[in-house]
A and B are shown apart, each in its own frame.
Chain A
Amino acid sequence: MIIINIVVSFLIAMLTGIGVGGGGLLVLYMTFVMNTEQYLAQGLNLMFFLVSSLMSVPVHIAKRQFDYKTVLLISVGGVLGSFAGALLTQVVKPELVRKLFGGLLVFSGVLVFFKSNNKSGG
């Protein structure tokens, strides 16, 4: 089981490092395969993401071209937004928003998947 945990973690972390994200794959693995409680799985998932992205960002900075000003703007907005979102989610249960946004994601995922044969992004 330890070996499987390590292999699964490695593969999910690779997806995070590539930048496409793990999409909550670890939560699914923890709750269904490992029978971990949901709140523990989410805590681990968050730590997992922080560790893997902390390790991948320096590599990206070294290898890719960053537009730092834009990254900074999004990050500042992101910290403010996540502060508000994380507080609000304690008060308002995000059931409806979660389902609506989930639907939107599935829809846009299908679009991305089938439009991905185009050469450039758009």
Chain B
Amino acid sequence: MMNNYERSTKKYYFIFICTGIISGFLCGFLGTGGGILTVFALTKFGPRFIEPEISGKSDFSRDCFAMTIATVLPASAMSALIYYKTGAIEFVGTRASELAQFLIPAAIGGMVGAIILDKINTSFLKKLFGALIIFGGAMLIFR
């Protein structure tokens, strides 16, 4: 735990607004990768700017993953809106019954994932995160 806790300084606002802008930009520009930066920023700067009651806990990394998904949601909604308005993505040709096969499990799976986050060992969580970053990066390079 650190003692030099700097809340509400100019640096605090600057760092986290920039984190949002860059993450959001990546999300909109490339369609993926924004959340990774937010996880890194929260784990790196959290101990300095977030109250020790939260950032000093041994499972702070779990909170970082949870907070990240909450920040990526509005950014993704914004880029989905822009993509849709500009015609970059389409749902025409996707039948409702097909959509249901994906979106219903998406809803249930999302909730189950959030519930089991507590049960997952943090070092395994980081391994999983690392593996998915490698995979996501490879997708960007070779797509």
Chain A positions within 8 Å of B, measured between CB atoms, are 2, 5-7, 9-28, 37, 39-40, 42-44, 46-57, 59-61, 63-67, 70-71, 73-90, 94, 97-99, 101-122
Contact = CB atoms under 8 A, between A and B. Distances in A.
A2 B101 contact: yes
Interface size grouping (class) on chain B = 35 or more
Interface string B81-119: 011101011110110000101111111111111111110
Given A9-B101, A53-B110, A54-B110, A47 B130 contact: no
Nearest to B116: A18
Interface in B5-54: 13, 16-36, 38-44, 46, 49-51, 53-54
Interface of B: 13, 16-36, 38-44, 46, 49-51, 53-55, 57-58, 60-80, 82-84, 86, 88-91, 93-94, 99, 101-118, 120, 122-123, 125-143
A120 B126 CA distance: 10
Given A86-B83, A102-B142, A106-B141, 19 more contacts: A13-B107, A13-B113, A18-B116, A18-B128, A24-B31, A40-B93, A44-B91, A54-B73, A56-B110, A65-B54, A74-B38, A75-B20, A78-B23, A81-B22, A82-B34, A97-B29, A97-B30, A102-B139, A121-B46
Contact of A76 (B17, B49, B80, B129): B17
29 contacts: A10-B105, A10-B106, A14-B110, A20-B129, A27-B139, A40-B94, A43-B83, A44-B102, A47-B80, A47-B91, A53-B73, A55-B110, A77-B17, A77-B20, A81-B34, A82-B82, A84-B25, A85-B29, A86-B86, A89-B28, A106-B141, A108-B133, A109-B131, A112-B126, A113-B134, A116-B123, A116-B129, A120-B58, A122-B43
